[in-house]
Amino acid sequence: MPGMTLHVACLCAAWCRTCESYQDVFQAACAELPQADLRVRWIDIEDEAELIGDLDIETFPTLLIADDAQVRFAGPLTPQPETLKRVLRAHLADATPARVDADVTALASRLRAQR
């Protein structure tokens, strides 16, 4: 949709060695995306606990993709570049809403509010 902002956030923790090595993969994959109005965030769930709210992240890395109206994807990923690229392409092209709990929807709303 023209004019729609797409939010892509990777939820990780500084102590997680998988996340540490995944950050460059995430940034590089997002840099390849063709979206004009794309907001990409790397979120340390402990440093930004207020932003995360009551959302309980159990598996790292966890990816959140949302547009201005809804969450398109939320869930953990295996930390391989091709998996990330496939998920990004699929969910950025498809505006079908994901079935997520209220804490994920609340996080997406807080990300949208950070303009």
Per-residue pLDDT 10s for the chain (115 aa) are 456 888 999 999 999 999 988 999 999 999 888 776 889 999 999 999 999 999 999 999 999 999 989 999 999 998 888 999 899 889 888 888 899 999 999 999 999 888 6
Q: Residue 1 domain-assigned?
A: no
User: Domain of 99: which CATH number?
Assistant: 3.40.30.10
Q: Is the pTM of this model over 0.95?
A: no
Q: Residue 38 domain-assigned?
A: yes
Q: Which residues pair with 7 in a beta bridge?
A: 39, 66
Q: Residue 70 domain-assigned?
A: yes
Q: In terms of residue numbers, what domain contains 89? A: 6-113
Quote the number of domains for the chain. Answer: 1
SS3 99: coil
pLDDT for the residue 34: 77
Bond from prior residue into 76 cis (ω within 30 degrees of 0)? no
Q: Residue 51 domain-assigned?
A: yes
